[in-house]
Amino acid sequence: MSLSTIIKIAIADDHKIFRDGIKMALNPKEDLKMIWEAEDGKDLMHKMTIKKPDLLLMDIRMPEIDGINAIEMLRKEYEDLKIIVLSMYDDQQMISKMMEMGANAYLTKTTDPDEIYEAILTCMNEEFYFNQLVNKAVMGKLLQKKNIRRHYGNQVPVTFNEKELKILQLLGEDKTTDEISKIIFLSPRTIETIRQNMKNKVGAKTIGGLLMYGMRNKMIE
């Protein structure tokens, strides 16, 4: 993304005062343009069909369609959309759940506007924004998995869906992101997102670690 690119953003939250506060805080940023706001999940899904933003700021607790159901629906229809969850919840299980479902960042509503702006730019340029909340939630999930494995005395295998298994297989064949993109008809950015989610699932830091996990669990040869 070039510095001159205007990032089209939208916000979905059922509290008008909060929406107005976010708009006021981000309005001075010349590289951002708020194209619409939604007052609930149903309104959000409708407006997405009219004009798609580059990035969506979204609450979890909304009438009609809540944030959990909304993000599931959005990820099926708009794979390249960046989603930043802005919520009152700072529960680790909720944070890890939303990240696993496809959020690119998770912030509380008390977050400083400068950090919200930083998160927007980071998500647009690097896919994800990892703050202390998200890091803590991810580590908590990894420790939970480790304790489960220790309790049962062996490794609890992570399951991949058909698309993930295909990507894992192609990675094992030393295919590049662009080559995989052409084979399974998804954008390179989407491939990268899925690949990162797979690494997060198994706790791998690198593609090599992901492939080792796949071979160890006989997902690939």
Same domain flag for 162 and 130: no
For the chain, what is the domain count? Answer: 2
With respect to residue 221, please indicate whether it lies within any of the assigned structural domains. no
Distance of CA 174 to CAs 144, 149, 207, Å?
A: 32, 30, 11
Prediction pTM value: 0.64
pLDDT per residue as tens digits for the range 42-70? 999 999 999 999 999 999 989 888 888 99
Place of tokens 């309104």: 43
Structure tokens at 179: 């080559």
Exposure of 38 in the CB half-sphere (CA atoms within 13 A): 30
Dig out the tokens for 17 from the structure.
Answer: 């005062």
| Whether residue 120 sits in one domain with residue 75 | yes
Average pLDDT estimate for 107-136: 88
For residues 20 and 59, membership in a common domain is answered with yes
